[in-house]
Homo-oligomer: A and B are copies of this chain.
Amino acid sequence: MKLLFLIVSMYLLGQNEGNPLSNKPRTFDNIKREIADYSDVAKKIINLAVYGKAQNRSYERLALFVDTIGPRLSGSKSLDLAIQYMYEALKKDGLENVHLEQVKIPHWERGEESAIMVQPRNHSLAILGLGGSIATPPEGITAEILVVTSFNELHQRAQEAQGKIVVYNQRYTNYGETVLYRSQGAVEAAKVGAKAALVKSIAPFSINSPHTGIQSYAIDIPKIPVACVSVEDAELMARMSSRGTKVVVSLKMGAQTYPDADSFNTVAEIVGSKYPEQVVLVSGHLDSWDVGQGAMDDGGGAFVSWEALSLIKDLGLRPKRTLRLVLWTGEEQGGVGAEQYYKLHKVNISNFDIVMESDEGTFMPSGLAFTGSDKARRIMKEIMKLLKPINITDVFENGEGTDISYWMQAGIPGASLHDDITKYFWFHHSQGDTMTVQNPREMNLCAAVWTVACYVIADMEEKLPV
């Protein structure tokens, strides 16, 4: 009887731990039980993050960071300062293998810029040059505008565009769709002979707030200066034009692109106890645009990711796999730091369990968005049940994040924080992206979700199935 019990126990134990000697694949019930066993750990994490000593820590850390450093544009001195600051902070926090991985990133500066409507009356337009834009000549570009509501209309009215400043007054549908006017607006306007382009800010709501962001030129298409203009000013010019009024704008931009700058992805770890070579990557990006404080995009994501490692360390936990925090550089320029990281580390891709990035706000969380196989998704749903004490248990489709997309495209499971983004694009890339939009309690909850998820994935006996 006793012997039988021992044999059965060892068998079950072997199953539960995914004993590599056992060829039998574990049943989903085994996995469910393994995950359910983390409920005490999950409660400890939640209690520490939301109610305990670590309460509001990610918010306070973020506030000190962004208040001290300010915005952190790719290639800027303040981004260098930010990386140095975080390197010191992560070491001081007692994390392991804190190091910087060098990458080259774009260095563009907006310089002085202005846009004045000089006809039919003088009115200063609220603009922000778009990342990568060339400058105007020093005397500016003064030209009549052509307002269009779509690329289609621009093409239909191509004959009218020659020598004009094209103003895009597109309708905002959603960010992914509408942002094409920002990223492609200059190229499309240049194709039809425009001298410059002004793009209505990619935002569903505005208090005359312009929103910047990256844009691209195309080979063989002349480069023309491009800026975004507030929703209000785009609509003003559209109304005037629709009445047949001739509108003339004088645009001056002192933007400059310098040689690529040295920068760094900032890395820290909690080294795995059993499979240290295997990696659960949690991340956010350190760089921001040069307006506001970059507190939301992506200070919040970077700091709840740091918080995940801090909480796990504070609880004296060490998962079987290595938990790796990466604070990306050059994300706003198209995931430049992350792309170089992928090229350098993809040789070890089989060791990557999951890549996680929070880069869509740390507002009230509702769960995780996940990209991966159906089998992996079932496991993620079990893991998220551990968040029942704070009722944030949903698993959504499509894990997102510029910086983790390289890995996800290569088949590695990916997850992002899913939160209430109702106001996200109100502040995004604008002067309104400051600590004022962050909420300590919401950040606590984000940290709890993020930490439980990455810890359990890192500690489970088996990697997520791909």
Interface check A1, CB cutoff 8 A: no
Which residues of B are found within 8 Å of A239, using beta-carbon distances? 63, 67, 435
Q: Provide the bound-state CA to CA distance between A403 and B70, in Å.
A: 44
Task: Tell whether, in the assembled complex, residue B67 and residue A207 are in contact, meaning their CB atoms are under 8 Å apart.
Answer: no
Which residues of B are found within 8 Å of A430, using beta-carbon distances? 207-208
Which residues of B are found within 8 Å of A432, using beta-carbon distances? 206-209, 232
Interface check A317, CB cutoff 8 A: no
Nearest chain B CB to A56 CB, angstrom units: 13
Task: Tell whether, in the assembled complex, residue A207 and residue B68 are in contact, meaning their CB atoms are under 8 Å apart.
Answer: no
Contact digits for A423-466, partner B, Cβ 8 Å, 1 yes 0 no: 00011001110111000000000000000000000000000000
Interface check A268, CB cutoff 8 A: no
Interface check A180, CB cutoff 8 A: no
Q: A interface vs B, CB < 8 Å?
A: 63-64, 67-68, 70, 120-121, 123, 126, 206-209, 231-232, 235-236, 239-240, 243, 292-293, 426-427, 430-432, 434-436
Nearest chain B CB to A291 CB, angstrom units: 9
Q: Provide the bound-state CA to CA distance between A208 and B292, in Å.
A: 8
Q: Provide the bound-state CA to CA distance between A146 and B206, in Å.
A: 31
Q: Provide the bound-state CA to CA distance between A157 and B206, in Å.
A: 38
Which residues of B are found within 8 Å of A240, using beta-carbon distances? 67
Given A206-B436, A207-B209, 10 new contacts (CB under 8 A): A63-B239, A67-B239, A67-B240, A70-B123, A206-B207, A207-B207, A207-B430, A208-B430, A232-B434, A236-B293
Q: Provide the bound-state CA to CA distance between A70 and B231, in Å.
A: 16
Which residues of B are found within 8 Å of A232, using beta-carbon distances? 292, 431-432, 434-436
Q: Which residue of B lies closest to A126 (CB)?
A: B431
Task: Tell whether, in the assembled complex, residue B67 and residue A434 are in contact, meaning their CB atoms are under 8 Å apart.
Answer: no
Q: Provide the bound-state CA to CA distance between A435 and B231, in Å.
A: 11
Which residues of B are found within 8 Å of A63, using beta-carbon distances? 239
Task: Tell whether, in the assembled complex, residue A436 and residue B235 are in contact, meaning their CB atoms are under 8 Å apart.
Answer: yes
Nearest chain B CB to A71 CB, angstrom units: 9
Task: Tell whether, in the assembled complex, residue B208 and residue A434 are in contact, meaning their CB atoms are under 8 Å apart.
Answer: yes
Q: Which residue of B lies closest to A432 (CB)?
A: B207
Nearest chain B CB to A297 CB, angstrom units: 14
Which residues of B are found within 8 Å of A126, using beta-carbon distances? 431
Could you write out 23 A-B pairs with CB less than 8 Å apart?
A: A64-B243, A67-B240, A68-B120, A70-B121, A70-B123, A126-B431, A206-B436, A207-B207, A207-B209, A207-B432, A208-B209, A208-B292, A208-B431, A208-B432, A209-B209, A231-B436, A232-B292, A232-B431, A232-B434, A232-B435, A235-B434, A236-B293, A236-B434
Q: Provide the bound-state CA to CA distance between A121 and B82, in Å.
A: 14
Q: Which residue of B lies closest to A295 (CB)?
A: B232
Which residues of B are found within 8 Å of A436, using beta-carbon distances? 206, 231-232, 235
Q: Which residue of B lies closest to A124 (CB)?
A: B431
Q: Which residue of B lies closest to A291 (CB)?
A: B208
Task: Tell whether, in the assembled complex, residue B70 and residue A235 are in contact, meaning their CB atoms are under 8 Å apart.
Answer: no
Q: Provide the bound-state CA to CA distance between A162 and B427, in Å.
A: 37
Q: Provide the bound-state CA to CA distance between A236 and B427, in Å.
A: 16
Nearest chain B CB to A153 CB, angstrom units: 21
Which residues of B are found within 8 Å of A427, using beta-carbon distances? 207
Nearest chain B CB to A64 CB, angstrom units: 7
Kindly list the 9 A-B residue pairs having the minimum CB-CB distance in the complex, ordered from nearest: A207-B432, A208-B431, A232-B434, A207-B209, A207-B207, A232-B436, A208-B432, A235-B436, A67-B239
Nearest chain B CB to A38 CB, angstrom units: 37
Nearest chain B CB to A127 CB, angstrom units: 13
Which residues of B are found within 8 Å of A292, using beta-carbon distances? 208, 232
Which residues of B are found within 8 Å of A70, using beta-carbon distances? 121, 123
Most B CB contacts (10 A, CB to CB) among A207, A293, A426 go to: A207
Task: Tell whether, in the assembled complex, residue A431 and residue B207 are in contact, meaning their CB atoms are under 8 Å apart.
Answer: yes
Which residues of B are found within 8 Å of A435, using beta-carbon distances? 232, 235-236, 239
Nearest chain B CB to A59 CB, angstrom units: 11
Which residues of B are found within 8 Å of A121, using beta-carbon distances? 68, 70
Q: Provide the bound-state CA to CA distance between A240 and B208, in Å.
A: 27
Q: Provide the bound-state CA to CA distance between A357 and B239, in Å.
A: 28
Which residues of B are found within 8 Å of A426, using beta-carbon distances? 207
Q: Which residue of B lies closest to A123 (CB)?
A: B70
Q: Which residue of B lies closest to A427 (CB)?
A: B207
